[in-house]
Protein backbone atom coordinates (compact mmCIF):
# COMPACT_ATOMS: atom_id res chain seq x y z
CA UNK A 1 0.00 0.00 0.00
CA UNK A 2 1.39 3.39 -0.96
CA UNK A 3 1.44 6.35 1.36
CA UNK A 4 -1.28 7.94 -0.77
CA UNK A 5 -3.60 4.97 -0.38
CA UNK A 6 -3.10 4.98 3.39
CA UNK A 7 -3.93 8.65 3.58
CA UNK A 8 -6.99 8.04 1.43
CA UNK A 9 -8.20 5.32 3.77
CA UNK A 10 -7.66 7.53 6.80
CA UNK A 11 -9.52 10.39 5.14
CA UNK A 12 -12.45 8.14 4.24
CA UNK A 13 -12.60 6.81 7.81
CA UNK A 14 -12.59 10.35 9.21
CA UNK A 15 -15.41 11.35 6.87
CA UNK A 16 -17.49 8.29 7.80
CA UNK A 17 -16.99 8.95 11.52
CA UNK A 18 -18.04 12.57 11.13
CA UNK A 19 -21.02 11.57 8.95
CA UNK A 20 -22.23 9.00 11.49
CA UNK A 21 -22.13 11.60 14.28
CA UNK A 22 -23.97 14.21 12.21
CA UNK A 23 -26.62 11.76 10.99
CA UNK A 24 -27.03 10.52 14.59
CA UNK A 25 -27.49 13.97 16.08
CA UNK A 26 -29.53 15.57 13.33
CA UNK A 27 -31.03 12.87 11.13
CA UNK A 28 -30.67 12.63 7.37
CA UNK A 29 -32.44 15.81 6.31
CA UNK A 30 -30.58 18.35 8.42
CA UNK A 31 -27.14 16.86 7.76
CA UNK A 32 -25.14 18.64 5.07
CA UNK A 33 -22.00 17.62 3.20
CA UNK A 34 -20.56 20.97 4.26
CA UNK A 35 -21.03 20.24 7.97
CA UNK A 36 -19.60 16.72 7.68
CA UNK A 37 -16.59 18.10 5.82
CA UNK A 38 -16.04 20.75 8.49
CA UNK A 39 -16.18 18.11 11.25
CA UNK A 40 -13.66 15.97 9.36
CA UNK A 41 -11.47 19.05 8.75
CA UNK A 42 -11.53 18.55 5.02
CA UNK A 43 -12.83 20.35 1.96
CA UNK A 44 -16.44 19.52 0.94
CA UNK A 45 -15.23 18.67 -2.56
CA UNK A 46 -13.20 15.80 -1.06
CA UNK A 47 -16.35 14.33 0.51
CA UNK A 48 -18.02 14.46 -2.89
CA UNK A 49 -14.93 12.92 -4.51
CA UNK A 50 -14.94 9.95 -2.13
CA UNK A 51 -18.70 9.36 -1.82
CA UNK A 52 -20.40 11.13 -4.73
CA UNK A 53 -23.53 12.36 -2.96
CA UNK A 54 -25.17 12.76 0.45
CA UNK A 55 -27.28 9.68 -0.23
CA UNK A 56 -24.24 7.53 -0.98
CA UNK A 57 -22.41 8.92 2.06
CA UNK A 58 -25.44 7.98 4.16
CA UNK A 59 -25.44 4.43 2.77
CA UNK A 60 -21.74 4.03 3.48
CA UNK A 61 -21.92 5.52 6.98
CA UNK A 62 -25.00 3.54 7.96
CA UNK A 63 -24.05 0.09 6.81
CA UNK A 64 -25.60 -1.81 9.73
CA UNK A 65 -24.07 -5.11 10.80
CA UNK A 66 -26.07 -6.45 13.74
CA UNK A 67 -23.32 -9.04 14.37
CA UNK A 68 -25.96 -11.55 15.43
CA UNK A 69 -24.38 -14.77 16.69
CA UNK A 70 -25.32 -18.15 15.22
CA UNK A 71 -28.64 -18.53 17.00
CA UNK A 72 -29.04 -22.15 15.89
CA UNK A 73 -26.35 -22.96 18.47
CA UNK A 74 -28.35 -21.36 21.31
CA UNK A 75 -30.67 -23.68 23.31
CA UNK A 76 -34.34 -22.76 22.76
CA UNK A 77 -34.94 -21.71 26.36
CA UNK A 78 -31.88 -19.43 26.34
CA UNK A 79 -32.79 -17.70 23.08
CA UNK A 80 -34.94 -14.82 24.45
CA UNK A 81 -32.32 -13.71 26.99
CA UNK A 82 -29.53 -14.07 24.42
CA UNK A 83 -31.37 -11.79 21.99
CA UNK A 84 -32.09 -9.06 24.54
CA UNK A 85 -28.54 -9.23 25.94
CA UNK A 86 -27.02 -8.98 22.46
CA UNK A 87 -28.79 -5.70 21.73
CA UNK A 88 -28.39 -4.20 25.20
CA UNK A 89 -24.64 -4.86 25.13
CA UNK A 90 -24.42 -3.42 21.65
CA UNK A 91 -26.24 -0.24 22.66
CA UNK A 92 -24.67 0.28 26.07
CA UNK A 93 -21.28 0.68 24.39
CA UNK A 94 -21.90 3.97 22.63
CA UNK A 95 -25.51 4.51 21.55
CA UNK A 96 -24.65 7.82 19.88
CA UNK A 97 -22.33 6.02 17.46
CA UNK A 98 -24.46 2.89 16.97
CA UNK A 99 -25.31 2.55 13.28
CA UNK A 100 -28.66 0.85 14.00
CA UNK A 101 -29.88 3.69 16.25
CA UNK A 102 -28.51 6.30 13.88
CA UNK A 103 -30.39 4.65 11.04
CA UNK A 104 -33.56 4.44 13.17
CA UNK A 105 -33.38 8.18 13.87
CA UNK A 106 -33.54 8.89 10.15
CA UNK A 107 -35.89 6.05 9.21
CA UNK A 108 -38.97 7.59 10.88
CA UNK A 109 -39.00 10.52 8.46
CA UNK A 110 -36.88 9.37 5.51
CA UNK A 111 -38.10 6.64 3.17
CA UNK A 112 -34.60 5.74 2.01
CA UNK A 113 -33.56 5.06 5.60
CA UNK A 114 -36.80 3.15 6.30
CA UNK A 115 -36.07 0.93 3.31
CA UNK A 116 -32.60 0.25 4.75
CA UNK A 117 -34.23 -0.77 8.07
CA UNK A 118 -36.49 -3.20 6.22
CA UNK A 119 -33.43 -4.63 4.45
CA UNK A 120 -31.57 -5.09 7.74
CA UNK A 121 -34.59 -6.95 9.11
CA UNK A 122 -34.99 -9.15 6.02
CA UNK A 123 -31.30 -9.94 5.52
CA UNK A 124 -30.13 -10.29 9.14
CA UNK A 125 -32.91 -10.65 11.74
CA UNK A 126 -35.29 -12.93 9.84
CA UNK A 127 -32.62 -15.45 8.70
CA UNK A 128 -31.00 -15.60 12.16
CA UNK A 129 -34.34 -16.39 13.78
CA UNK A 130 -35.23 -18.87 11.05
CA UNK A 131 -32.02 -20.77 11.81
CA UNK A 132 -33.04 -21.02 15.46
CA UNK A 133 -36.80 -21.52 15.21
CA UNK A 134 -37.43 -22.95 11.76
CA UNK A 135 -38.90 -20.91 8.92
CA UNK A 136 -42.60 -21.16 9.88
CA UNK A 137 -42.21 -20.09 13.50
CA UNK A 138 -39.70 -17.40 12.58
CA UNK A 139 -42.06 -15.94 9.95
CA UNK A 140 -44.78 -15.75 12.58
CA UNK A 141 -42.70 -14.15 15.34
CA UNK A 142 -39.69 -12.28 13.90
CA UNK A 143 -41.60 -9.08 13.18
CA UNK A 144 -42.83 -8.64 16.74
CA UNK A 145 -39.45 -9.64 18.16
CA UNK A 146 -37.91 -6.85 16.09
CA UNK A 147 -40.66 -4.45 17.23
CA UNK A 148 -39.89 -5.17 20.88
CA UNK A 149 -36.12 -4.81 20.52
CA UNK A 150 -36.51 -1.59 18.51
CA UNK A 151 -39.02 -0.37 21.11
CA UNK A 152 -36.38 -0.88 23.78
CA UNK A 153 -33.77 1.00 21.75
CA UNK A 154 -36.24 3.79 21.11
CA UNK A 155 -37.45 4.21 24.71
CA UNK A 156 -34.09 3.83 26.46
CA UNK A 157 -31.58 5.44 24.09
CA UNK A 158 -33.52 7.87 21.88
CA UNK A 159 -36.53 9.09 23.88
CA UNK A 160 -34.75 8.37 27.19
CA UNK A 161 -37.89 7.63 29.18
CA UNK A 162 -36.70 7.86 32.81
CA UNK A 163 -38.57 4.65 33.77
CA UNK A 164 -36.51 2.73 31.18
CA UNK A 165 -33.22 4.64 31.53
CA UNK A 166 -33.18 4.02 35.29
CA UNK A 167 -32.92 0.23 34.87
CA UNK A 168 -29.47 -1.34 34.94
CA UNK A 169 -28.50 -3.26 31.79
CA UNK A 170 -28.98 -6.54 33.69
CA UNK A 171 -32.43 -5.42 34.86
CA UNK A 172 -33.41 -4.64 31.26
CA UNK A 173 -32.41 -8.14 30.17
CA UNK A 174 -34.26 -9.68 33.11
CA UNK A 175 -37.41 -7.61 32.57
CA UNK A 176 -37.68 -7.99 28.80
CA UNK A 177 -36.73 -11.67 28.51
CA UNK A 178 -40.18 -13.01 29.59
CA UNK A 179 -41.85 -10.75 27.02
CA UNK A 180 -39.65 -12.07 24.23
CA UNK A 181 -40.17 -15.63 25.41
CA UNK A 182 -43.94 -15.05 25.30
CA UNK A 183 -43.68 -13.63 21.78
CA UNK A 184 -41.64 -16.60 20.53
CA UNK A 185 -44.20 -18.87 22.19
CA UNK A 186 -44.08 -22.66 22.28
CA UNK A 187 -42.53 -24.67 19.46
CA UNK A 188 -46.16 -25.71 18.66
**In this structure, which long-range contacts are made by residues 34-43, counting pairs with CB atoms below 8 Å and at least 24 apart in sequence?**
40/11, 40/14, 40/15, 41/14, 42/11, 42/14, 42/15
| Closer residue to its own copies, CB minimum distance, 74 or 130 | 130
Please report how close the Cβ of residue 25 comes to its own copies at its closest, in angstroms.
Answer: 8
Is 81 a residue that touches its own copies (CB under 8 A)?
no
Is 151 a residue that touches its own copies (CB under 8 A)?
yes
Stretch that binds its own copies, among 1-9, 34-42, 70-78, 157-165 (CB under 8 A): 157-165
> Helix crossing, 79-93 with 135-153: angle to 10°?
30
Please report how close the Cβ of residue 82 comes to its own copies at its closest, in angstroms.
Answer: 17
CA distance 163 to 166: 6
Whole-Å CA distances, 173 to 20, 83, 114, 124, 166 = 27, 9, 27, 21, 13
CA distance 140 to 66: 21
Select from 105, 128, 132, 173 the one that contacts its own copies (CB under 8 A).
105
Stretch that binds its own copies, among 38-46, 65-73, 89-97, 144-152 (CB under 8 A): 144-152
Within 10 Å of residue 118's Cβ, how many Cβ atoms? 10
Is 34 a residue that touches its own copies (CB under 8 A)?
no
Contact 129, 74 (CB under 8 A): no
Select from 117, 132, 133, 173 the one that contacts its own copies (CB under 8 A).
117
Is 35 a residue that touches its own copies (CB under 8 A)?
no
CA–centroid distance for 16 within its chain:
15
| Closer residue to its own copies, CB minimum distance, 9 or 122 | 122
> Helix crossing, 54-61 with 111-120: angle to 10°?
30
Please report how close the Cβ of residue 93 comes to its own copies at its closest, in angstroms.
Answer: 19
Is 78 a residue that touches its own copies (CB under 8 A)?
no
- Interface residues with its own copies (CB under 8 A) are 25-27, 29-30, 104-105, 107-109, 114, 117-118, 121-122, 126, 139-144, 146-152, 154-156, 158-164, 166-167, 175-176, 178-183, 185
Amino acid sequence: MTLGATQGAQTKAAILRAARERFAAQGYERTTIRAVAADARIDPSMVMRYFGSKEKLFDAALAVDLRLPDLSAVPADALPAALVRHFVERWEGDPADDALLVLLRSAVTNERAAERMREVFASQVAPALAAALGPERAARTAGLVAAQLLGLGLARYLLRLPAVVSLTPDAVVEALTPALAATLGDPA
